[in-house]
Chain A
Amino acid sequence: MLNVGKIEEGFVLDHIKAGKSLSIYKHLGLDKLDCTVAIIKNARSGKMGKKDILKVECDINTLNLDILGFIDHNITVNVIKNCEIVEKLPLSLPKEIKNVLKCKNPRCITSIEQELPHIFVLTDEKKEIYRCKYCEEKYNSSDATVL
């Protein structure tokens, strides 16, 4: 069994679907931050069989975790201070997501202008529906494939 030490301050993202940690690493922009990150893949889990875990040592105000609500709302977000869990953050759907989904509408302007960001806006929170900012193509957060 692999052991990863405690972190002073930051986040522990637990119960990530096995294999999804690298995608989350990318979407949280962790590659651009100068902080310690532990990526644990395929850890044994009583509940899930296998799971991924991310441990991020950083100032808790530096990360915007909204995107997690879109990717997988079953992830547990533990906020760590002084090596202790001080809070478990509830996940909610972000109002807007950028470059997380790709618009599949062949008539959308994003299909021909490659440099445009793919932006989706939450239009129905109850039904978890996002729409492309440009063409209003509909995406349901549960069946959308994250880039």
Chain B
Amino acid sequence: MRHLMSPLDFSTEELDRLFTIAEDIEKNPEKYAHACEGKKLATCFYEPSTRTRLSFESAMLNLGGKVLGFSDANSSSAAKGESVSDTIRVISCFADICAMRHPKEGAPMVAASHSSIPVINAGDGGHQHPTQTLTDLLTIRAIKGRLNNFTIGLCGDLKFGRTVHSLINALVRYDNINFVFISPEELTIPDYITEMLRDKNIAFREVRKLEDVMPDLDILYMTRVQKERFFNEEDYVRLKDYYILNKEKMELAKSDMIVLHPLPRVNEISVEVDSDPRAVYFRQVQYGVYVRMALLLTLLEIEVK
């Protein structure tokens, strides 16, 4: 029995298999419509995360399975003081697989070590959110046709952005990826990441202006600058509009460049960009469902012929 705690739990070969299933689901959804009949997914969400929970639930329903669960800690026995390990032992009797979101880092790992059903980490504090990374990778592979040989720009809050760190760690396993980090001075990529890239001889550069690098990018991964990261309002106001992606900046980009965003967006991508075919962030949400479907099948060891 396998669990998913981190995107690195799967080798690149295993990820290839997973993405191949996800791409087949996209092409032939009817083939998978009954694959999980009789199976139940428990969504144990100790903190609200509507889109991730709905994506998991949609994935299981698309496969013909059923879902049950809770969407915040107050409506679960955690409010009565039950430990994660006890909860998962109980949930193991109700469901065949569990997706867990928890504000405390490592909680899904504790669950996995006491569980008799596969556990998927659906986000644990600021630590890991592996299905977001799988979504990002699948989106790139499905649209660009490859997970190697490209230049990716990561823009916005690179200091605290969990999705960015996780995506970089996943991408360094593929060949010939050039990273361009676009952030304000206050939100630069942490040293441990640049050290890791230097150790592995992977090309990267850090810049302040998005316009300067737009023509070089094959992929642009936008993130939100979060207000709560700033000590004073003035800095936030100054920086929040620094990286607004608009039509003018898009004109500088290659014709086949794609824009990703983990969502939710605030104002860092102007709505006028939404109609540009290179803006793929809403398709990315759809790929999130496909990759979660493929993940449920893989962890439940269900093969669809």
Which residues on A are within 8 Å of B, measured CB to CB? 105, 107-113, 115-116, 132-136
Contacts and interface: CB of A to CB of B under 8 A. Distances in A.
Contacts of B107: 109, 134
Contacts of B185: none
B150 to A, nearest CB: 28
Contacts of A133: 106, 109
Across the A-B interface, give the 7 residue pairs with the lowest CB-CB distance, nearest first: A134-B106, A135-B105, A109-B104, A109-B106, A109-B107, A107-B125, A135-B106
A4 to B, nearest CB: 44
- Provide the main secondary structure of the chain A interface: loop
Contact of A108 (B83, B85, B104): B104
A110 B83 contact: no
A94 B83 CA distance: 29
B103 interface: yes
B143 interface: no
- Residue in A110, A116, A132, A134 whose Cβ sees the most chain B Cβ within 10 Å: A134
Contacts of B102: 109
A22 to B, nearest CB: 31
Given A115-B83, A135-B105, A109 B126 contact: no
B127 interface: yes
A113 B106 CA distance: 11
A113 B110 contact: yes
Contacts of B127: 107, 135-136
A134 B124 CA distance: 10
B84 interface: yes
A74 to B, nearest CB: 28
Interface string B89-130: 000000000000011111101100000000000001111000
B104 A112 contact: yes
Nearest to A114: B83
A69 to B, nearest CB: 24
Contacts of A110: 106
Q: Which of A109, A115, A132, A135 gathers most chain B CB within 10 Å? A: A109
Contacts of B110: 109, 113, 116, 134
Contacts of B104: 107-109, 111-112
A135 B85 CA distance: 16
Contacts of A115: 83
Contacts of A109: 84, 102, 104-107, 109-110, 124
B109 A107 contact: no
Of A112, A115, A132, A133, which is in contact with the most chain B CB atoms at under 10 Å from its CB? A112
A134 B112 CA distance: 11
A35 to B, nearest CB: 33
B105 A134 contact: yes
